[in-house]
């Protein structure tokens, strides 16, 4: 069976359990019809008929948080080692989102983040609007919790201020009580602190720039009785990502638990901010194909509707953002998603009516780039960039200087990438290469812990086309040249990567309390590379490359230019350059 047919069959099978949810929320013409999770090309959630399909953001926007300010909605997400960091998105209807900037031009501790810190950098952040300022609190688990502020969510944003100077603190979220007292909720990363499965509160000073007083453990998952889920009773494990709210005299803490793929959305409530707290599962995977669901935000609308955004892990395709309806019950507990039969918790919907908000134009993520005014907002480096990596004096092209770096892309910061725009797509770019030294190379990559690239390399006999792959880069495996074609001289070359998903079976966790059926599957991105000498007729080069996610991030599509390692590691040295143009995704 051809790969595409197999993939469509898998997608149909995955969608069948959600048919009931679709029928309840979609137009009559769509009722009962299985829904493919993702079409080819760039994903657009707005269906143009008053409904939307999840995910509302197909790109890798991990740990989303969102707020409403008047009639506007703003969302942020983790960015880990990618720079610029802390993406800021805007919407008027909670479905159509546009990237409007980044709150972090570069990561603090500049020297530390001059090299890629895979799995480090910006973890789960929170955004609030308080006293006329947008405030984003974010953690770097190796250094502490920071805050950045702005009058306008599009920027400019202030320099980061260290709020909590403790190694291992993560997932901060501020809350200001009715008396004006500010609090900061957070958790700990076991990898840095040895602590896990707690929610803590600490007071903030008057301007919210420093924690003060003692630390209060208000939720300790190790002491809680099991919680009921659609997969049976589960122990509370890995409680994190807490967000504090107040409603009708109750303090509510929304916090996911159970881990990313096998978790559920928990809610805790108390009449006292310091507890004790009752607890409940309010959404889990149920019979839907949406794993997790994990880390998110409760948002209301001016008309009194309630919604919840969260992410679901799609492996190589990243952590994609979903929008769920939310209802408050008479018992004072929320239900997120579609209520599961006879239960007090919901499950994710795949398709639903849009929020009752003014009609907005369909927002299509910006992925194509002619580089007429520099790279668009969607591009990010893999570390704090050097000014010498890019030549901004070049007009109408993206000119990357060949910077001296290690031979493998995983260790290199000067890889310019963007999030995958959909499940099945083809990315193409034109490359003109002007190397100086033997060993310089430039190309187009589908990047992750296992990755591949196609490009040009300067050898002793001139410039040649190569296709390269690396399996399990985190284990320090070497790159290998899969295929090398004829010399091409200094003429332009068009590079292309065709990407399709492949679902594979993996072993479930050893601990049965952590097991969910969704944890036995993973989705990898399969890349096939080709080239053209005229921009029209493309020839394949090499075989397929199975690309896996990076550390806490999905795979990325990107471009690079490198020189042989010979000067001190990661210092940018002007050698040759590569001009990229007409980057397109179809």
Residues serving a catalytic function are: 63, 240
Distance CA 216, CA 199 (A): 9
Instruction: Say if CB 314 and CB 66 are below 8 A apart.
Output: no
| Sheet with 306-313, side-by-side order of all strands | 294-300, 306-313, 319-328, 334-336
Instruction: Say if CB 432 and CB 414 are below 8 A apart.
Output: no
Burial class of residue 358 in the structure, from the number of CB atoms within 10 Å of its CB (0-12 exposed, 13-18 middle, 19+ buried): exposed
Instruction: Say if CB 320 and CB 61 are below 8 A apart.
Output: yes
User: Which tokens sit at 125?
Assistant: 């952040």
Instruction: Say if CB 418 and CB 445 are below 8 A apart.
Output: no
Distance CA 222, CA 1 (A): 48
- Beta strands in 123-263, from DSSP E residues, in sequence order: 126-130, 133-140, 144-150, 161-164, 169-176, 182-188, 198-204, 211-220, 227-229, 232-234, 243-247, 250-257
CB atoms within 10 A of CB 367: 23
String of b and e for 478-509 (b: at least 16 CB within 10 Å)?
ebeebeeeeebeeeebbbbbbbbbbeeeeebe
Report which secondary-structure segment, H or E, holds 20.
helix 19-25
- Size (the chain), residues: 586
User: Which tokens sit at 143?
Assistant: 């250094």
Kindly report the backbone phi and psi dihedral angles of residue 469, in degrees, each rounded to the nearest multiple of 5, phi listed first. -135, 155
User: Which tokens sit at 193?
Assistant: 């602190």
3-state DSSP: the chain helix, strand, coil percent, rounded to 5? 10, 45, 45
Distance CA 186, CA 342 (A): 33
DSSP SS3 for 227:
strand
Instruction: Say if CB 233 and CB 279 are below 8 A apart.
Output: no
The pairing of strands 133-140 and 126-130 is antiparallel
Q: Can you give the C-alpha Rg of the chain in angstroms?
A: 24
Burial class of residue 335 in the structure, from the number of CB atoms within 10 Å of its CB (0-12 exposed, 13-18 middle, 19+ buried): buried
Distance CA 539, CA 189 (A): 47
């Amino acid at each position: 069976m051809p790969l595409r047919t197999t993939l469509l069959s898998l997608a149909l099978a995955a969608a069948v359990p959600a048919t009931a949810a679709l029928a309840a929320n979609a137009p009559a013409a769509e009722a009962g019809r299985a829904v493919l999770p993702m079409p080819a090309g760039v994903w657009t959630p707005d269906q143009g008929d008053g409904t939307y399909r999840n995910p509302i953001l197909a790109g890798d926007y991990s740990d989303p948080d969102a707020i409403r300010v008047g009639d506007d909605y703003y969302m942020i997400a983790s960015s880990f080692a990618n720079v610029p960091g802390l993406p800021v998105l805007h919407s008027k209807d909670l479905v159509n989102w546009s990237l409007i900037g980044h709150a972090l031009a570069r990561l603090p501790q500049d020297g530390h983040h001059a090299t890629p810190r895979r799995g480090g950098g910006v973890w789960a952040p929170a955004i609030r609007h308080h006293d006329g300022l947008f405030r984003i609190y974010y953690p770097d688990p190796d250094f502490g919790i920071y805050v950045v502020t702005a009058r306008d969510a599009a920027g400019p944003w202030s320099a980061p201020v260290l709020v909590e100077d403790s190694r291992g603190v993560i997932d901060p979220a501020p809350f200001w009580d009715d008396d004006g007292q500010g609090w900061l909720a957070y958790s700990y990363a076991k990898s840095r602190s040895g602590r896990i499965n707690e929610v803590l509160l600490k007071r903030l000073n008057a301007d919210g720039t420093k924690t003060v007083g003692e630390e209060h453990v208000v939720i300790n998952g190790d002491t809680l009785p099991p919680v009921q889920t659609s997969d049976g009773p589960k122990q509370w494990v890995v409680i994190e990502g807490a967000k504090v709210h107040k409603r009708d005299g109750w303090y509510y803490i929304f916090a996911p638990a159970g881990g990313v793929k096998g978790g559920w959305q928990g809610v805790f409530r108390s009449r006292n901010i310091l507890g004790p707290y009752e607890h409940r599962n309010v959404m889990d995977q149920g019979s839907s194909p949406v794993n997790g669901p994990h880390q998110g935000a409760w948002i209301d609308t001016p008309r009194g509707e309630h919604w919840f955004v969260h992410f679901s892990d799609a492996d190589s395709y990243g952590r994609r953002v979903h929008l769920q309806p939310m209802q408050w019950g008479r018992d004072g507990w929320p239900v997120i998603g579609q209520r599961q039969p006879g239960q007090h918790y919901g499950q994710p919907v795949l398709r639903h009516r849009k929020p009752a908000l003014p009609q907005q134009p369909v927002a299509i993520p910006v992925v194509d780039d002619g580089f007429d005014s520099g790279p668009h907002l969607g591009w990010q480096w893999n570390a704090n960039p050097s000014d010498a990596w890019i030549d901004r004096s070049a007009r109408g092209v993206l000119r990357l200087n060949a910077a001296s770096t290690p031979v493998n892309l995983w260790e290199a910061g000067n890889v310019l990438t963007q999030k995958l725009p959909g499940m099945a797509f083809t990315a193409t770019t034109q490359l003109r290469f002007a190397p100086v030294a033997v060993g310089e190379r430039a190309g187009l990559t589908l990047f992750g812990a296992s990755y591949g690239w196609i490009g040009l390399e300067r050898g002793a006999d001139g410039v040649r086309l190569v296709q390269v792959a690396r399996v399990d880069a985190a284990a320090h495996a070497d790159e290998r040249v899969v295929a090398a074609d004829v010399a091409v001289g200094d003429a332009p070359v068009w590079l292309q990567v065709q990407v399709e998903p492949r679902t594979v079976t993996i072993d479930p966790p050893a601990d049965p309390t952590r097991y969910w059926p969704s944890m036995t599957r993973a989705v990898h991105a399969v890349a096939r590379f080709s080239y053209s000498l005229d921009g029209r007729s493309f020839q394949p080069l090499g075989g397929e490359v199975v690309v896996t996610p990076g550390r806490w991030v999905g795979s990325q599509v990107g471009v690079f230019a490198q020189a042989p390692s010979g000067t001190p590691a990661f210092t940018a040295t002007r050698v040759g350059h590569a001009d990229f143009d007409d980057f397109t995704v179809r």
